Chains A and B, each alone.
Chain A
Amino acid sequence: MSSEPILQVRNLHKAFGGLQALKDVSFDVHQGEIFGIIGPNGSGKTTLINCITGFIRMDSGKVSFRGKDISRQPPHKIAAMGVTRTFQIMRPYYTLPAYKNLIVPLFSSRARKAGGWRGGGRLGARDTVSIDILEEIGFERDSLVPYKLASTLPTGYLKRLEIARCLALRPEIILCDEVFSGLSMSEIASIIPLIERLQMDGITLIMIEHRLRELFRVTKRVMVLNFGEKLLEGIPEEVMADDEVKKAYLGSEEV
């Protein structure tokens, strides 16, 4: 593994009232890897993403990105550094065509700088960029899909739209909150190459998943959360073999 981790999480704590949602969670993510986080329902996976990206204020702990402390930053500043996220419950602008959905992230100064184009100068400049990005993530340019209203898109495309919003920001890290959930096998099969492409482009991915088999096809390293605590971290085979993980997560059932 490379020298310094791109994202470092140390002793993260978060409680909602009496409920300890995250307890002393620490892990490192390295540049260019796909890091998986798994755990049963209610184990604090989404809370972890929310804390890292600033959507929820953590009680204590430290998150650093490239050595810089981002634990007390507001979400938009964290996103502006390139630490982006998707939402488990997709949040597109349902009343807009798919490509108009990317106008908002393209409006940010990060997208403007990274894209090397002057936003707003030319009529429809953002529209063009947005269609390029959508093509990258699998919206066929010559089909009508990028121009359809988000409300009419199938789930698979909405998930891609979530990733596209991150891509519009030219991200360094994308935290994916259950990208595979709710998708059919064939849809997942078409998304996996996209994810591998993102990794090849040098983007670091942190994926929270329920669908272990699909996740293990792309990731080399996973962490297991249970009741807000880190159970262990390792390569998928190791994790699957661990008795405690089986007990906590899988029960007696095999995957």
Chain B
Amino acid sequence: MIEERRKERLDRGIKVRSEGIYAISSWEEMAYLLLPRLFLISGMLALPLVMPGLYWQRVISIVGIYSLLALGFDFLANFVGLVSLGGAFFIGTGGYIAAILNTSFGLPPVVTIPVATIVGAGTCTLLLYPCLPLRGVYFAIVTLMYPLVFARIIEALNILGGTDGIVGVASFPNRWIEQYCILITVIISLFGLRRLVNEDIGLVFRGVKDNDQAVKASALSINLYKSITVFIASALGCLGGAYLVHIYMWSGISQFALDFSIIPIAATVIGGGGTLVGPILGCFILVPISELLRAFGTLRIVFYSLILVAFIVFRSEGIVVYAQRRYHQFERWVRV
């Protein structure tokens, strides 16, 4: 007779013990909770030190920018249910605002980046506001169109430097500041967002995602909460855009390009959606690979498109979801 077996997953004892206030009862449990976080933070902070040469240090900054975008995408898609394919729109808006502030008014990056973040996020939210009631596919399509519209309008009207873009944007004082600022921003955003989605307001967001009728019946405006989340996500994107402009010392319509829309999505899918850490990890994997493939030109777009398709089609759960499961649970075979 064939013995029928199935796999069973159980939480590790230490995971159960370290939930809630009891976590501080022993060093082991505290370490269980803190080590992954410490590992992540220290790993990210150490990265610029171990990078060989200027070129790869620059790549770290770019990774940081993509991480912010991917973080925003994951937040919107998996916690609020808005699938935005318009990462490039956020990058472009933030980038152009920072570039204008810097070149026309002579403001230093310390001022332009925060201003571009807030003003840019406000602008994006305002422009996307009419689309917020749209669902699923429709929201995705409309957000995909926004960056294209802006790129074409800038091109057609020949404003904001037209196809040449805005040149002569100030750079960062030195490369260490450049890298550490963005990495620290990524870390703060990550833990801030994690905190936010676990707060009570996170439940409201979740309600907006999959129980909107109940949210309305609870006297809460769906559009208000959607705009709050769009503001947060676009702030992350605009911050990234402003940063990018100061790194490249140039702002142009290529910031509305598809790279900024597609890489964050691919990173989220690979890293594991709904984890917030996953997209960042995904960026740390994808962006350097894409840099390595730069010599092959557009082949890299083919490459991550195919990865994206593979991950979506095989419904992969993503690296971080897998890792979390292995960390928190053990598996065993049991007889049925």
Contacts and interface: CB of A to CB of B under 8 A. Distances in A.
Q: Give yes or no for direct A-B contact (beta carbon below 8 Å).
A: yes
A105 B211 CA distance: 12
Interface string B202-225: 011011000101111111111000
B201 interface: yes
A107 B213 contact: no
Contact of A96 (B201, B203, B218): B203
B217 A107 contact: no
Contact of B221 (A53, A76, A86, A169): A76
Interface in B50-67: none
B214 A165 contact: yes
Contacts of A53: 217
B3 interface: no
Nearest to A79: B219
A74 interface: yes
A103 interface: yes
A104 B213 contact: no
A80 B220 CA distance: 8
B17 to A, nearest CB: 19
Nearest to A102: B218
B193 to A, nearest CB: 17
Report which residue of B199, B203, B211, B218 has the largest number of chain A beta carbons within 10 angstroms of its beta carbon: B218
A111 B220 CA distance: 11
Interface residues of B, number: 18
Contacts of A119: 200
Contacts of A108: 218-220
A85 B219 CA distance: 11
A84 interface: yes
Interface in B171-220: 199-201, 203-204, 206-207, 211, 213-220
A91 B203 contact: no
Interface in A117-143: 119-120, 126
Contacts of A55: 213, 216
A187 to B, nearest CB: 22
A168 B221 CA distance: 16
A236 interface: no
Could you say which of B211, B214, B219 has the most chain A C-beta atoms within 10 Å of its C-beta? B219
B217 A120 contact: no
A107 B214 contact: no
B213 A103 contact: no
A104 B203 contact: yes
Contacts of B206: 93
A86 B219 CA distance: 13
Nearest to B213: A91
A87 interface: yes
A221 interface: no
A75 interface: yes
A107 B222 contact: no
A165 B218 contact: yes
Contacts of A74: 216, 221
Contact of B216 (A75, A92, A126, A166): A75
Contacts of B220: 76, 104-105, 107-108
A110 interface: yes
Interface string A201-232: 00000000000000000000000000000000
B201 A107 contact: yes
A104 B216 contact: no
B213 A105 contact: no
A87 B213 contact: yes
B216 A79 contact: yes
Given A53-B217, A75-B217, A93-B211, A104 B204 contact: yes
Given A96-B203, A104-B204, A107-B204, A79 B218 contact: yes
Nearest to A81: B219
A14 interface: no
A69 to B, nearest CB: 18
A103 B203 contact: yes
Nearest to B201: A107
A109 B48 CA distance: 46
Contacts of B214: 87, 91-93, 104, 165
A160 interface: no
A91 B216 contact: no
A142 to B, nearest CB: 19
Interface string A56-78: 00000000000000000011110
Contacts of A103: 200, 203-204
A100 interface: yes
B218 A105 contact: yes
Nearest to B200: A103
Contacts of B221: 74, 76-77
Given A93-B207, A93-B211, A107 B216 contact: no
B200 A107 contact: yes
Contact of A85 (B200, B211, B215, B217): B217
Contacts of A166: 217
8 contacts: A77-B221, A104-B207, A105-B219, A105-B220, A107-B203, A107-B204, A107-B220, A165-B218
Kindly list the 9 A-B residue pairs having the minimum CB-CB distance in the complex, ordered from nearest: A79-B219, A105-B218, A108-B219, A80-B219, A75-B216, A91-B214, A76-B221, A103-B203, A104-B207
Given A80-B219, A108-B218, 8 more contacts: A53-B217, A76-B221, A77-B219, A91-B213, A107-B200, A107-B201, A108-B219, A169-B218
